[in-house]
């Protein structure tokens, strides 16, 4: 994997930069309780995150992948979830170790950074602000910003356009098969973190070009295989 041309780094959010499962689970269980369904709990919610809120709520209500609840029920549950989650986006969520200093380091080195998430942008942006890294990550592409979501490459392509970068200069960092597939569909390299919401799949089996030992290794990897932006070859 040659990273010498990398100038832009795209990051997934949930499970990659921040452990948001506690706050997601609280909102999910609030909705389930209002609808008369049993609570799911944080452990189950962790296994369902990654394909957008609608899929999350569908799984929480039906406890299966095979079918969705009636559209009216799901629409109501989704609207209520957005209300509850929006009230406490960052109460118990926490950045993973090494995320904040690494993002700041990469930005200081001149890398152009973006978050590409299936979460709505109106939730993703405040989380980055609460983490104190919104200035280091100026571009946020949420699930509603393109007609299709990851693993389609359209959100990644939009992020690169807003960063003023090309796919040849880009690297994707994620935690799931969805992130790997999105990167492959755009033809860019991808590395995975060793934690996150991979739905029980070992990160080593996701098909990424590399699995980091920890988030902080990303800066080392880029410096070792490439060079800081603006440095002479």
DSSP calls for the chain? ---TT--EEEE--BTTTEE-HHHHHHHHHHHHHHHTPPP--HHHHHHHTTS-HHHHHHHHHHSSSS-PPPHHHHHHHHHHHHHHHHH-TTSS-EEPTTHHHHHHHHHHTT-EEEEE-SS-HHHHHHHHHHHT-TTT--EEE-TTSSSS-TTSSHHHHHHHHHHT--GGGEEEEESSHHHHHHHHHHT--EEE-SSS--TT--GGGS--SEE-SSTTHHHHHHHHHS--TT---
Q: Per residue of the chain (233 residues), what is the pLDDT tens digit?
A: 778 899 999 999 999 999 999 999 999 999 999 999 999 999 999 989 878 899 999 999 999 888 889 999 999 999 999 999 999 999 999 999 999 999 999 999 999 999 999 999 999 999 999 999 999 999 999 999 999 999 999 999 999 999 999 999 999 999 999 999 999 999 999 999 999 998 889 999 999 999 999 999 999 999 865 444 433 33
Specify whether the CB–CB gap between 42 and 29 falls below 8 A: no
Could you give the domains of the chain?
8-19+93-225 (3.40.50.1000), 21-87 (1.10.150.240)
Q: Given this model, what pLDDT does residue 61 score? A: 96
Q: Given this model, what pLDDT does residue 10 score? A: 98
Has 12 been annotated as catalytic?
yes
Q: Given this model, what pLDDT does residue 110 score? A: 96
Q: Given this model, what pLDDT does residue 232 score? A: 32
Q: Which of 2, 12, 29, 205 is catalytic?
A: 12
């Amino acid at each position: 994997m040659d990273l010498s041309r990398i100038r832009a780094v795209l990051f997934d959010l949930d499970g990659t930069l921040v452990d948001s499962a506690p706050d997601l689970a609280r909102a999910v269980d609030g909705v389930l309780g209002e609808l008369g369904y049993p609570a799911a709990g944080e452990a189950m919610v962790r296994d369902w995150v990654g394909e957008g809120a609608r899929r999350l709520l569908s799984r929480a209500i039906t406890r299966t992948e095979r079918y969705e609840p009636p559209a009216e029920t799901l629409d109501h549950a989704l609207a209520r979830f957005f209300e509850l989650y929006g009230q406490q986006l960052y109460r118990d969520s926490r950045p993973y170790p090494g995320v904040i200093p690494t993002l700041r380091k990469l930005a200081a080195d001149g890398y152009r950074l973006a978050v590409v998430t299936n979460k709505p942008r109106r939730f993703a942006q405040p989380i980055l602000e609460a983490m104190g890294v919104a200035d280091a990550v100026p571009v946020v592409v949420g699930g509603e910003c393109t007609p299709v979501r990851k693993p389609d490459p359209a959100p990644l392509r939009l992020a690169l356009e807003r960063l003023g970068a090309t796919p040849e200069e880009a690297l994707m960092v994620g935690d799931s098969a969805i992130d790997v597939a999105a990167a492959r569909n755009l033809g860019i390299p991808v590395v995975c973190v060793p934690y996150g919401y991979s739905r029980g799949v070992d990160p080593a089996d996701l098909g990424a070009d590399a699995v980091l030992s920890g988030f902080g290794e990303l800066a080392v990897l880029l410096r070792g295989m490439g060079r800081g932006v603006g440095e002479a070859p």
